[in-house]
Amino acid sequence: QYLAPIFTLLFATIWLKEKIRWLQWFCIVIALSGVFVIGIGKSAFENNGISHTSSLYTWIIIGVVSAIFSGLAYVSVVKLKNTEHPLHVVIAFPMISLPFMFVWTCFDFVLPKGVEWLYVLLLGIFTQIAQVFMTKAFMFGDVAIVSPFQYLGSIYAIFVGTFLFNEILPFSSFIGIFLILSGVLLNIVVKHYNQKRTHA
């Protein structure tokens, strides 16, 4: 799924004719490598180096397909910035996904109990807020700058896991965090420098 920013930029160069310099691609690859370092290190740490390859390729294919469709969705959001209000786009996401998810949950539905209703409610509220801000960022920001910020989600997940669920982090997670932050921040610096050169 973390390939989504890569596909977003690919589709932006093709569909939106965005000019993304090779140095920005390099920064994004740095951030992406950080995600892989976290994922591989955490997997090896939890499974003591044992690899479960039986279903691995299935999940990889599903993840890549998901990333491709996410990239198309984000570029579509950018394309709609001159014709649609951000809230219209945010509402469109659940309106399209609800019928599919309704059918899916019919086969594996679990009714929340007690405090779980509160968690479901908070999940819905925070998701809507995040969708609004993300939509606005893609509509009014620069795709090459906004896309890599999605990698910060893995860092938030690490901190949530550590402080809320008492997960123990391998050292590789800190290397991954450093790579993600370096890639995202370098991308912003490169873009800012290129803009200054263009205006000069």
At 118 the pLDDT is: 96
- Tell me how far apart the alpha carbons of residues 192 and 200 are, in angstroms, rounded to a whole number: 12
Taking 60 as the threshold, does the pLDDT of residue 51 lie above it? no
Alpha-carbon radius of gyration of the chain: 19
More reliable by pLDDT, 196 or 187: 187
What's the pLDDT tens digit per position in 106-149? 888 888 999 999 999 999 999 889 889 989 998 888 887 888 88
Cβ contacts of residue 151 below 8 Å, gap of 6+?
2, 5, 31, 32, 34, 35, 180, 183, 184
What's the pLDDT tens digit per position in 75-118? 999 888 888 888 888 888 888 888 888 888 888 888 899 999 99
8 A C-beta contact, residue 32 and residue 183: yes
At 101 the pLDDT is: 84
Of 16, 15, 134, nearest in space to 86 by CA: 134
At 189 the pLDDT is: 83
What's the pLDDT tens digit per position in 170-189? 888 888 888 888 888 888 88
Instruction: Tell me the longest C-alpha to C-alpha distance in the chain.
Output: 61
Average pLDDT over residues 18-26: 82
